[in-house]
Structure 1
């Protein structure tokens, strides 16, 4: 019972003073000596904590002064509380796949100032909130595929100015918010297997001009006039693009958008053509 109370109190902390942080470190147990296996390769410490039954990691700390990769796949981290990783300041790669993760609370990633890669794949996330990734200004690679993400709040990526790779395939996205990529310089974007019918140029495509790879397959594209902006944008870039196959309208079902012309997407009646009433 005492350990459960302690764990709850840790999860409800919203901010720590430097003295409190230092006190926690001295009272925490080094994770390599107590729960996980650790191996150093090429000056990087791999901390393997896969399938260890963790419900929180705040009671442990990473070895000090060691650049580390932390593998927490297959645990029970269903909710990340504030300051969950405050004892892991030297971690550059964090793997949280297959945890049943449902919620990332404000400040969950406080202290991870050097984190470059974050893996959230195969979880139960439904929304990426504006403050989900607060404190991750060094992040370059974000993987959140195979979740249930149906919405991304407009400012969710605004502080991730170094983000290059964004993997969101196999989610439930119907659309992307305006200006979602305004402050990032993406080189790789994976949106396969969502529910996208259209991607507008204004506010979305206009901000990913430096893209090197974009994957858009397996979405129910609605090949009408609204898709002309996407078609025109694709015609101007020379990067790898997966197949974009029309779902609707029926006359274009199964057609690859790259093989269509503007008239196919938005047919216009000839100026001289007149419609006669039925006799």
Structure 2
């Protein structure tokens, strides 16, 4: 009968349309990305900006290894109130604009390593409003100074392999929660660090100053809780008798790959917790002045 024919035709057409239409992407997930619960993977996609349509409930956003420039940080992420981890490493980010992160109220971990951020590009107030930020990776950028106005709750700061040539008295001011600070691979010397640069770092447990231009161990190291100090691959030729005084929690010290010939007796007297000392690859002068070190290391 005609109705039956029409019904059969409608069913056939619906089936054909179903075959011709590609499956809809996962609910709320932008086409170039993959979503797995609150984890959104948009990495390695040659993206030039942050895709629209990222689900509001996202907590971890992977955007690394794309072609995103500085315009990718602010406006396109402002609706993501629950994102606590943002991966933007290996992009083309040059600028961190003023209050760029202010609307990412839950942000705790920001990865901006392997970009082209300059000190001029970090605008004053760039981190204003990012009060919850605990981990900031800025390794392998073009920074010539420590960014000003870092969040006071910061616990880990990575600035390794930049062009930082000095640390002012204000640069690390107020960072009393900072536990790990990585400054290796810069252009620092004992003369370019302000006398009170480390004064507020009462929680610091790990400090790396490796691969810089130190000729001596810097003075006024943050000693209250420092457990690991890395000074390898500098030009250190002398360690003054009191250089390490007060570092009573220090458990690991690396002075390898320097220009040390001797060490003054008693230089490690305060280091009652020292469990690992590395002094290899130094041009030691084998004289009686070093006998004490041999005995001490037993």
With normalisation by structure 1, the TM-score equals 0.68
- Counting matched residue pairs gives 220
Measure, in 1, the Cα distance between the counterparts of 2:179 and 2:60.
Answer: 23
How far off its partner does 1:106 sit? 2.0
**Is 1:129–1:152's contact at 8 Å kept on the other side of the alignment?**
no
How far off its partner does 1:132 sit? 2.3
Measure, in 2, the Cα distance between the counterparts of 1:186 and 1:101.
Answer: 25
Calculate the aligned-residue CA RMSD, in Å.
Answer: 3.2
- Match of 1:49? 42
| Structure 1 runs (4+) greater than 6 angstroms displaced | none
Report 1:72-151 matches (<5 A): 72-80=63-71, 82-127=74-119, 128-151=122-145
**Is 2:168–2:193's contact at 8 Å kept on the other side of the alignment?**
no
More strand by share: 1
User: How has the CA–CA distance of structure 1 residues 131 and 228 changed in structure 2, closer, same or farther, with 3 Å as cutoff?
Assistant: closer
Measure, in 1, the Cα distance between the counterparts of 2:77 and 2:89.
Answer: 16
Larger Rg: 2
Measure, in 2, the Cα distance between the counterparts of 1:170 and 1:82.
Answer: 25
Cα deviation 1:138-167 (Å, max 9, x = unaligned): 0000011011111235x331xx12110001
**Is 1:167–1:189's contact at 8 Å kept on the other side of the alignment?**
yes
- Match of 2:273? none
User: How has the CA–CA distance of structure 1 residues 82 and 229 changed in structure 2, closer, same or farther, with 3 Å as cutoff?
Assistant: same
Cα deviation 1:40-85 (Å, max 9, x = unaligned): 2xxxx1100012232222x614323x25100001112121364231
How far off its partner does 1:108 sit? 2.4
How far off its partner does 1:31 sit? 6.1
With normalisation by structure 2, the TM-score equals 0.64
- Match of 1:181? 172
Task: Using the TM superposition, name which of 191-200 and 116-125 deviates more.
Answer: 191-200
Structure of greater relative contact order (alpha carbons < 8 Å, 6+ residues apart): 1
Residue 243, structure 1, aligned to residue 231, structure 2 = yes
Cα deviation 1:186-230 (Å, max 9, x = unaligned): 00111111110126464311111221111111111032xxx5624
**Is 2:157–2:180's contact at 8 Å kept on the other side of the alignment?**
yes
Measure, in 2, the Cα distance between the counterparts of 1:201 and 1:130.
Answer: 21
Measure, in 2, the Cα distance between the counterparts of 1:235 and 1:186.
Answer: 13
How far off its partner does 1:174 sit? 0.2
More helix by share: 1
**Is 2:30–2:53's contact at 8 Å kept on the other side of the alignment?**
no
**Is 2:161–2:186's contact at 8 Å kept on the other side of the alignment?**
yes
SS in 1 for 2:29: helix
**Is 1:145–1:168's contact at 8 Å kept on the other side of the alignment?**
yes
Unaligned runs of 5+ in 1: 1-29, 264-279
Unaligned runs of 5+ in 2: 1-26, 241-256, 268-298
How far off its partner does 1:133 sit? 1.9
User: How has the CA–CA distance of structure 1 residues 260 and 48 changed in structure 2, closer, same or farther, with 3 Å as cutoff?
Assistant: farther
